[in-house]
Structure formats: structure tokens, C-alpha cells
Chain A
């Protein structure tokens, strides 16, 4: 059977499963299997989509976020791109069976992956008017012919120009879905995976206008419905895609992580300075990004990167150039710092309840240069601010622009397969279970290397049956009822 994955980046289970107006979603829920989907740590677009596609955790992929340390120097951070992924993804496994795939906007997909089929770049493509963003390259011309300039993202989506942002996101997504429908109908595929990035951008741009519990929420504000309207629009798109499918297609609507309100930011490096773990030669007079600070590495023990979560690094003797923590004390030190993070309080003096993870504990393996700790401040109610120079560590504005939403650990999945042996709400599904489940339903072997499990493992697949003649006759008879003339 064919597999179609419609990825909705950042789709929140409560919103998508809770809105009665999403008729196509509701019909799929009725017919299929759905529920919350536990994302990886960190629950972030890169690497989450690739964790889903490979059934490998971030440590195994060696990708811990958009930016990763390339070595143990203090400065070098590399952006993850498509070449960073070494594990086999769904399309690679299928290619070994001679099957064709189409992937559209599955991050990271710049430079565009060369797959057995068609690959269209993701939001990491710098400029689609200049760069090759498709494989084969000839597809670019066809896309341009179809929709004109093809946007992969709304640049500078963290902005106060909300009308502009809303219109740009819709304009982008309209073009993307148009291309997707064209590829679905006009091109050959056995596996099709699209990621709608517009939803993530809508969440970040408008969550504070939508979520009544958000500190910045104002009742009756003009952007209250931007998020629900976008979901409604997505539902229409999904409905029109379903029309294009046949009974030999399995459909998965899925998100890489959820969304939740952002209460504020924790200026993590500033806190480390306060704690004496990070030492500067000179404290900045104004708010300054970490890479522009004068760090006294010889006295520094810990520093961190900002983002939706904190990647915390230790300055270890023999590992970092000017290491200060003896390698033998690494684990004791790690426990101590973990405990200090966990003990942090929020701005009202209440426990922040942050989640602190040791990469070696949570991942099967740890490749490349992992952080020494990963911190979800307040269970992601707070983001991590890497910049230094605030009056205190609790920051309301975001150092990279206005943002009303953080990622949530639980995304959603909605699997509608004509042959799926079970339906209804499913509890306990994890992001890494997606690939094996799809392979299982579509009748492929599940590679040993996959770290998730099939949600329908060992279950007999359903066989499709058509209505009987008598049923059809009854339906037709019913249709004539009340005609009057007969």
C-alpha cells in the first residue's frame, strides 16, 4: 500500500482534536487511530522530523537542535542540514525495495536530498529564486510554472507586523499545498511526506492572541482567530487531498511536536554568571548575544545556548581547550549542575519545575558533540535566553523577536489506514513509533535498526469489503422515497 504523510509542524493535539469544525479531521479520527504523540527531547523541528522518518533518537542521529557544536572548541557551531543525517529514512528503506518517494519540506532538506523520486527543499533553503531546492533540479521549473516563486518560509516571522505575517503565511501555504496536490496527482510515488511549516509559524506568531491563559492575551483582539482559521483552512486542504486518494493509500496526519504558551524566558547564561559558573572579563552594558561576550574560559565551568530549550555545555579538562572541570569529576559535576537547574525558582519564587536531561541517559547512543545537559525550563513554559545583560534572569521579551509560543513535548498523530486493525484513541504513542507503524501497515519489513515499535505489531490487518447487493438496493429505494410521483 502507498503511504502519505501530511506533516503539520507544531500541530497541537488539544486544538486539532478539540475543534468540531474540522470536519475532515473528525472523519479521519472516526475512521482511524489517533492520539497524542510523545516527541523526542528536544521537541524541535530539527531533528524531530528526521527522528520520525528514521526511527532514531536525536543522540543516534547526532543532532541536538538546529545548531550543534562541530567540535569541542568554544566557538564552532554548525547548522544542521540534510547532509548531517546519516541514518536511513523511510524513503531510503523504500528505495531499497525499488519504491519511489516524494518528500516536500521535510527538514532539514537543504541541500535537497537526492532520493529515488522527488525531493523539494524545506524552510532551511536560503533563497528559492537562486538556489536549487529540488531533486531532480528539473522539478524546480515545473513548480515555478505552477505557482510562480515558491516560498519555503516566511522570513522574519518573529515580527510585530501581524497582518503582514498572517497574509504571508497563508500565501506561502496555499502555494505549497497546490504543489503538493500537483505532485500527488501527476507524479509517481509509494511514499509521500509533506511538512506544512505554516502552522508552526502561525503558532509562534499568534499564540499569545489565541491562548486565553497567555499572559499577553487580550480578549477580543483582532488576531484571536488566526490560529483557528489556519486549522480550518488546513482541514479543507486535507479534505481536498483525501479526495485524490484511493483505497490503497494509508494517510497519516502528524506533528513533530506540540505547542504551548510561553510564560517568558530564562536568561540562562546570566543565571550561570550569577551562580559563578560562567565568568566574563567584562559584563556587558547592554543586552548582548553570547558569542559577542568576553568569556574568561579559564575560570568558566558552564555555558549554554538559548532557544526553546537550553543546551548546556561543560568546560572539561582535556576536552575543551581551557577545560576547568577534571574529567574524573565529570559525572559528579553533572549531577550537581542538574540539581541546581532543578532547584531554580520562577519569578514569583515558586518552583520552576524544569526538566533536566542527561543525553547519555535518554538516548540509545550519543553521536557527534552532545550538550552535557538539556534543560526544558518549567517544562517548556519558559524558553531559554542565551543573551546576557537583562536586569534579572526572568525575561518577557524574546531575544530573537516576539514569540508567543513554545514547543510542547506532545504532538499529535492521526492515522487513517483502510486496513488498520484498530481505531479510536491511542495512548502512549511515541514519535519513533511512526516509521515502524507505517512500514508494518504498508506491508514492508521493519528494519532492526529502528528504535520505535509498530503500534499495530502482530495484529491481523483488516480486509476491505464492499457493500452487498441487497444493501445497495435498499439505499437506492430510500433515495426515491418521498418523490410523490411513484
Chain B
């Protein structure tokens, strides 16, 4: 019999919730795995973020060995933020299309396995876009953009012309007609000035009797979106020119029919059968998979939290969408499990993370956006989702035999996010960051450090907890000399000034500590890491504004958004979970220990040279 390793990744599953439900015997399958082997908390990465932690999981190294330090990176030449997971390279010839490049470095576990002739099936692992060649199959996960190149831009359609677009969305006004003709916005068209969108026409018939929208796109069969419900996926064709077209898939949510029609279109996802960029390996794997399980979301962030955050659809609709996504993922995993005979099968379920981000306010009565009414109906749903994960494991366990190592883990835990701390304002208050012409930090300065006087700035915050020094020779307008005493002064000002820094209004400690990159990272890519990392206390997080190089209204602010739970706090306070159907050699497992564990179980000796150590 060939040996098998099945890994089920449950993004963001929180140990305290798991432990509570275990105690109440509400997670029987988790309990079964624990009994046959191990349960414990899993030390995550600095910082405790999905792309960082899963990259450490697959490479068995700390982030210094794989180069993913945050969702967001910055270009030191422009000080502008960018997505840190992948980039698009413009080839030397304008005749060639842009090329997607994965920014994760290091050697992932499936490459060691490929070299050893052992096949892998990797489903929706974060930071695997574009999909890479391997022995086996891969479908990319978090990091896959939508067809516009964003992480997810939805569209709100309304007959109410007073509606204005909110964050990261488009609003399209509808005519009042029995059959409404409108358009779905597809890829950006960079050839026009200013850039515009390629669009695809749809026809929407309003069925007042049956309370639904009937939508036709091109030659496709009509699909239906019932009032307060989601339509199935539909393929849209965007004509890029006389000669070229690209297909994408979209799902509609009908918000209301009366007094005027309002509906929402999900971000246009790459068509799994014909993506603009490689989202699967082999290239036709996505197509084959969709032929077996139907169309499925392909964008990295498949749960449409932005549309929900903007209030375009309510909690029930968001929950319904999360369930649809979870089902897609379950279908693809079960499809692969059904024909899994050897090697490594790994699936990441992002839904627990996306759901908890939005629903945490229903289980934290002290959250500024707590709503007691909704809490009573929706609060239990987080537990419900954990139980859904348990049911999933029940199905997986049916496929586990004595030659199978089963690992169930989360990359980090979860906590509440009540208050936002504006790191850039703190830097300004402490004379580490200067603004032009005597300006004071305020929200309307915008993102991207527009008003910063770089000639007097020593440090700036960007991303989800990182602080960068303004280094001469590295930053465009850097002023700190390499090796100068000033650097030490700036770093210790930050470390001592922010350690146990308290929220004046609530008296709660907001920051536990500040880490220097060399204290927490080692390896070839440490140079690319933020110079310092702010480790927040539970309940706090970096502000929305500082993460993009802007300023909040004040140093501390209530987080009034629906996005109410988070995990980007001191990693020691948000460990993940680890279940294994084999005993482990010690009980202080780190996420970097799992790649070597997998290799060890499959008799691939490369695990001996990895930073993490096998738990077997």
C-alpha cells in the first residue's frame, strides 16, 4: 500500500472555540482524530496572516525563508503599497502579454515530493498564483485576482440614482423597463485614456409574481436570482477587440424587486475553463475539475466580504454565499479524495476566516458594532460553521486508512477587532514621521503618504503591522544611513515607546511589543521584511488608513465596520489548531514543522535539512 497524507486546512479556526465545542462534545470527528493521535495549539508565524502562515506551512521555513511577510508590500522607490503575493511583469516585448509571477520563494513541500516521484494534489493553497508545474495537480488559492486584477471588485445595480459607490465597488444605474438591458464590467482596458472597462451585456427580466430576476447573458441559458438569493454562476464573454475575447464567471444576488430593482454582481472570476492567467496546473486542470463539479469561484478571496461590508447584501446573504463557497471547496476535495491513492492531498477552506471576520461582532458583546438582535440569530453561526467543518472531517475520515496521515490545522486563530491604532499618527506624534507644510495627520490626506516630508521622516507604517525605516539608498528619499547610530535610536524609540502602549480611552493595553526583523526572521529574504513589526494586543489592530500609508482621524478609533474580527495581533495570542491521527513527539508544534512531518511520513529525507522539524 502506498502511503498517503491528507491535509485539511481550515483557515482561521480559533483554538478556544474549538476547545469549548470539544468539551461540549459538539465536534465528534475532531475528537476522534484527537483520540487517535494529537490535538494541540499550533504556533503561527510573525505576523499571524493567511499568506504568511500558509507559505511557512508549505515551505517549512520562517518568512525569512519564503519572502512573504504580509498581504501588502511596498515599493521603496515610490513608498506605495502593493499586493505582496504576486506581481505582473511586463515582458520586454510589448507584443507579449503580462506575466504573473508568484512572489513566494523557498521550496514548497510538493516540489520535494515531485522530485521524489510522489504526486500531490494542492487545492486552493494561498500564494500559489500563478499555478506552478508539479507532479500532480494544483488549483491556486488566495492571491488569485478577479478579472480586473483586483482582489475582488463587485458591482451594485440599482434604479435609485442617488446611490453612490462605496469602497472597491462600482455602481451601475438601471433603467425602469420590463426587460432591463445593462452591462457587467469586466477587465480593464488600458488602451483608452483614461483606462476604461470591457463590458458584457446582460438582460434582466423582473418577475414580480415569482419574486425573482431572470438574467440572460449572450447565448447562455437564462439564470435566476430569487429575491434575497444568489443565482448560479454564469459565464460571460468580454469582447476585448474585434479579435480577442475572454470569458469570466459571475454570480448575481437579488437584493430587492420593489419599490425599485436592486441587485449585486460578484467580482467577475476567471473562468476555470479558460482563465486569463494560469490558475491551475496542468493548465487544463481547472477545466477538467469544472466539468466534474460545475463552475466554481476562482478568485483568491471567494467570499465577497467587500460587498457585504458595503451593505450591498446582508448577513444572511453573506452567510449563504459562504456556504456556497464552502460547498464548492468540499466538492472539489471530495472529488479528488475519491481518486486519491498515493502521495499528498491538501485543501484549504478559507470560509471560516472570511466568516469570522464579518460575524465576530455577533459573539463579542463589547464590540462597537455589536447588534444584540442579530447576535442572537447569527452569533451561533460561527459555532455552526465549526460543526460544519467537523461534518466535513467525518467525510474525510471515511477515506482515511492505516496508511494515511491526516493533518487538520488552522494557520492562525481569531479574535475581536474593536479598536484601530493608527501607527502613522503615533510616528508623527513621536517626531519619526514629518508632514509637509505643518500639516497634521488627518484622514483626507489620503493613502500612499501623499503629504509626507520624506526629508524629515525616519520611519513609516505600511501593511498590517509593519513599520519601515526610511533608509538612504533603499528608499527613494531615505535619510537614515546604514550602520549609523540614528537607526538604533529610531528602533529603540519605537520598541520602548510602543511596548505595553495603552489605549488612553479604554485603559486597555493596545500594543504588547515591537519586534525587530532580525529578532523574528532568518534566511535569504529578511532584507525584504518590514524593519519592525508591531504586535498588537487582542482587541486591537492597525488602522485601515495606516495599512495603506494614510492617517486616521485620531490615534485610536472604534472599529465600526462589519469587518469585526481579526487575527493580526501578537502571534503568541492567536495560535492555530493542529489535529493529527498520529501521536507527536512534543506538544509545542509550530506551523513550520508540518512540511517536514509530511516529508518524513512519506520517507523523503529532505525534511532533515528543513528549519522546521518533523513531529513524528
- Which residues of A are in contact with B by a Cβ distance under 8 Å? 20, 23, 26-32, 239, 242-243, 245-247, 249, 251, 416, 418, 464, 467, 471, 473-486
Interface residue? B305 (CB, 8 A): yes
A480-B150, A481-B152 known; A486 and B547 CB under 8 Å? yes
In the complex, are the beta carbons of B95 and A475 less than 8 A apart?
no
Residues of B within 8 A of A416 (CB): 95
Residues 283-324 of B at the A interface (beta carbon under 8 Å): 301, 305-306, 309
- Beta-carbon nearest neighbor of B464 in chain A: A485
| Closest Cβ–Cβ distance, residue B16 to chain A (whole Å) | 22
- Residues on the B chain within 8 Å of A243, using CB: 91, 93, 96, 99
Contact of B83 among A239, A242, A471, A480 (CB under 8 A): A480
CB atoms of B95 and A245 under 8 A apart:
yes
In the complex the two chains form, is A246's CB within 8 Å of B92's CB?
A: yes
Q: Per-residue 0/1 for B188-222: is the Cβ within 8 Å of any A Cβ (1 yes, 0 no)?
A: 10100001000000000000000000000000000
Stretch from B238-246, B251-259, B374-382, B521-529 that touches the partner: B238-246
Contacts of B150 in A (CB 8 A): 478-482
Whether A29 and B71, one on each chain, are in contact in the complex, defined by CB atoms closer than 8 angstroms, is no
Which B-chain residue is minimally distant from A484 (CB atoms)? B305
Q: Are B95 and A479 in contact (CB under 8 A)?
A: no
Contacts of A482 in B (CB 8 A): 146, 150-154, 168, 267, 301, 306
Once the chains bind, are A242 and B95 in contact (CB under 8 Å)? yes
> Chain A residue with minimal CB distance to B242?
A30
Bound Cα distance from A249 to B93, whole angstroms = 8
Any A CB within 8 A of the CB of B445: no
> Chain B residues near A464 (CB, 8 Å)?
94
A-B contact pairs, 14 of them (CB 8 A): A20-B245, A26-B243, A31-B94, A242-B95, A243-B93, A243-B99, A247-B93, A479-B150, A480-B72, A481-B148, A482-B154, A484-B151, A485-B566, A486-B464
Q: Which residues of B contact A481 (CB under 8 A)?
A: 148, 150-153, 167-168, 306
A427 CB, nearest partner CB in chain B, Å: 15
| Shortest 6 CB-CB contacts between residues of A and residues of B | A482-B152, A481-B168, A246-B92, A245-B93, A481-B150, A482-B151
Distance (Å) between the CB of B206 and the closest chain A CB?
28
Interface string of B73-110 (1 = CB under 8 A from A): 00000101111000000011111110100000000000
CB distance from A100 to the nearest CB of B (A): 20
Interchain CB contact under 8 A, B548 and A486: yes
Q: Which residue of B lies closest to A470 (CB)?
A: B194
B250 interfacial by beta-carbon distance below 8 Å: no
**With A and B bound together, what is the CA distance between A213 and B566 in angstroms?**
65
Q: Which of B91, B151, B357 has the most chain A CB atoms inside 10 A of its CB?
A: B151
A464-B154 Cα distance, complex, nearest whole Å: 34
Closest to A467 in B: B190
A27 touching B195 by the CB < 8 A rule? no
Cβ-neighbour of A483 out of B151, B240, B241 (below 8 A): B151
Question: Counting chain A CB atoms within 10 Å of each CB, which of B148, B243, B547 scores highest?
Answer: B243
| Residue numbers in A under 8 Å from B96 (CB-CB) | 239, 242-243, 245
Contact B94 A27 (CB under 8 A): no
- Closest chain B residue, CB of each to CB of A482: B152
- Contact residue among B95, B145, B151, B168 (Cβ-Cβ distance under 8 Å from A28): B95
Measured CB to CB, the nearest residue on chain B to A469 is: B78
Complex: how many Å from CA A184 to CA B398? 54
Q: Which residues of B line the A interface, CB within 8 A?
A: 71-72, 78, 80-83, 91-97, 99, 145-146, 148-154, 167-168, 188, 190, 195, 240-245, 267, 301, 305-306, 309, 357, 447-448, 464, 544, 547-548, 563, 566, 568
Q: Which residues of B contact A20 (CB under 8 A)?
A: 245
Closest chain-B Cβ to A250's Cβ sits at a distance in Å of 9
With known contacts A242-B95, A416-B95, A483-B301, A475–B548 Cβ distance under 8 A: no
Complex Cα–Cα for A310 and B243 (A): 39
- The answer to whether A484 and B81 have CB atoms under 8 Å apart is no
State the Cβ distance, B463 to closest chain A Cβ, in Å.
9
Measured CA separation A482–B92 after assembly (Å) = 30
Asked whether, in the complex, the Cβ of A473 is within 8 Å of the Cβ of B92, the reply is no
Query: Do A486 and B72 touch (CB < 8 A)?
Result: yes
- Cα separation A23 to B246 with both chains bound (whole Å): 10
**Given known contacts A30-B244, A473-B80, A486-B72, A480 and B548 CB-to-CB distance under 8 angstroms:** yes
Which of A32, A464, A473, A481 has the largest count of B CB atoms less than 10 A from its CB? A481
Chain B's closest residue to A478 (CB) is B150
Q: A245-B93, A479-B82 known; 12 other A-B pairs, CB under 8 Å?
A: A29-B243, A31-B94, A247-B94, A471-B190, A477-B447, A481-B150, A481-B153, A482-B146, A482-B154, A483-B72, A483-B152, A485-B566
Measured between alpha carbons, how far is A303 from B566 in the docked complex, in Å? 90
| A418: B residues at CB distance < 8 A | 93-95
Give the distance to chain B from A243, nearest Cβ to Cβ, in Å. Answer: 5
Within the complex, what minimum Cβ distance (angstroms) separates B132 from chain A? 17
Q: For A478, what are the chain B residues with a Cβ–Cβ distance below 8 Å?
A: 148-150, 153, 188
Q: Shortest Cβ distance from B533 into chain A, in angstroms? A: 15
Q: Are B94 and A484 in contact (CB under 8 A)?
A: no
A24 to chain B, nearest CB (A): 8
Contact of A484 among B97, B190, B357, B548 (CB under 8 A): B357
Q: How far is the CB of B166 from chain A (nearest CB, A)?
A: 12
Say how far A176's CB is from chain B's closest CB, in angstroms.
21
Partner of B92, one of A29, A30, A245: A245
Which of B149, B243, B245, B568 lies in contact with A475, CB distance below 8 A?
B149
Most buried by B among A242, A247, A251, A479: A479
Indicate if the CB atoms of B93 and A27 lie closer than 8 Å: no
B244 / chain A contacts, CB cutoff of 8 Å: 23, 26-27, 30
Give the residues in chain A near B566, CB-CB below 8 Å: 485
Name which residue of chain B comes closest to A471, CB basis. Answer: B195
Complex interface: chain A residues within 8 A of B267 (CB): 482
Cα–Cα, bound, A29→B94 (Å): 13
Rounded to whole angstroms, the CA-CA distance of A251 and B81 in the bound complex is 36
Nearest A residue to B241 via CB reads A30
Which residue on A lies nearest to B546, using beta carbons? A486
Q: Is the CB of A485 within 8 A of B195?
A: no
**A-chain residues with CB within 8 Å of residue B153 when the two chains form the complex:** 478, 481-482
- Is A484 a contact of B92 with CB atoms below 8 Å? no
CB-nearest residue of chain B relative to A242? B96
**Which of B95, B148, B153, B195: most chain A Cβ within 10 A?**
B95
| Complex Cα gap A31–B150 (Å) | 25
CA distance A473 to B464 in the complex (A): 20
Q: Tell whether, in the assembled complex, residue A484 and residue B149 are in contact, meaning their CB atoms are under 8 Å apart.
A: no
Choose among A239, A418, A464, A484 the residue with the greatest number of B CB atoms under 10 Å from its CB. Answer: A484
What distance in Å separates the Cβ of B325 from its nearest Cβ neighbour in chain A?
14
The answer to whether B95 touches A484, judged by C-beta atoms less than 8 angstroms apart, is no
Residues of A close to B80: CB separation below 8 A:
473, 476
B195 adjacent to A474 (CB under 8 Å)? yes
Are A31 and B95 CB-contacts (below 8 A) given A479-B150, A482-B151, A485-B71?
yes
User: CA A293 – CA B148 in complex, angstroms?
Assistant: 71
Which residues from B are CB-within-8-Å of A475? 149, 188, 190
- Asked whether B544 lies within 8 Å of A486 as measured between CB atoms, the reply is yes
Given known pairs A479-B150, A480-B151, the reply for A485 and B568 (CB within 8 Å) is yes
Contact of B306 among A27, A31, A484 (CB under 8 A): A484
Residues of A within 8 A of B547 (CB): 485-486
Contacts of B94 in A (CB 8 A): 31, 247, 418, 464
Q: How far is the CB of A57 from chain B (nearest CB, A)?
A: 31
Cα A486 to Cα B357 in complex, Å, equals: 13
Chain B hits for A28, CB < 8 A: 95
List of B residues within 8 angstroms of A30 by Cβ = 240-244
Residue of A at shortest CB range from B246? A23
Q: Roughly how many angstroms separate A485 CA and B71 CA in the complex, as a whole number?
A: 9
* Cross-chain contact B95 with A27 (CB below 8 angstroms): yes
Nearest-neighbour CB distance to chain A for B309, whole angstroms, equals 7
Which partner residue on chain B sits nearest A22 by CB separation? B243
| Complexed CA–CA distance, A40 and B464 (Å) | 66
Chain B: minimal CB distance from A461 (Å): 14
Measured CA separation A478–B169 after assembly (Å): 10
| Cross-interface CB contact of A479 among B92, B145, B190, B544, cutoff 8 Å | B145
